[in-house]
Amino acid sequence: MKTSRDERPMCGYRVWITTCPSQWRPAKWHEIPPDGDAVQPIGDEILTEERAANLVEGFNRVMLRARDRVWAVAVPAKVALEDGLRPGEHVAGAAVRFSPLQYRKRA
């Protein structure tokens, strides 16, 4: 797998809907539920890092105001176009945390 100058693997991402523990109360869109379980991917596409971050941000900003107990996380896709999650699996350790300042939406 190729790497960029900062030595991060160059790959795509899939964004997954996850469950949230009832006691978990995220304050920011980029947090990852500690005991969330994968429910299903959002779409079949492999996304760029920027598109995945934008999707996670948009979805989770809505969920911060909602009472639903679901959340979105980005997971690196493997070379075989499969990601490391299956429905029902924990997302901790598989999900990627995006920096909120890294992906500001362009006007």
- The parent domain of residue 20 ranges over 13-76
Q: For the chain, how far is it from start to end, CA to CA, in angstroms?
A: 33
Output phi, psi for 5, to 5 deg.
Answer: -60, -35
Task: For the chain, 107 residues long, give each residue's pLDDT as a single digit of tens.
Answer: 344 444 445 578 999 999 988 888 899 999 999 888 999 999 888 899 999 999 999 999 999 998 888 999 999 886 554 556 777 787 877 777 777 766 555 54
> Is the residue at 68 inside a domain?
yes
> Is the residue at 54 inside a domain?
yes
Gap between the Cα atoms of 39 and 102, Å rounded? 27
> Is the residue at 100 inside a domain?
no
CB 75 within 8 A of CB 84: yes
pTM given for the model: 0.68
What is the phi-psi region of residue 54: left when phi exceeds 0, alpha when psi lies from -120 to 50, beta otherwise? alpha
Tally of CB atoms within 10 A around 34: 12
Query: Total structural domains in the chain?
Result: 1
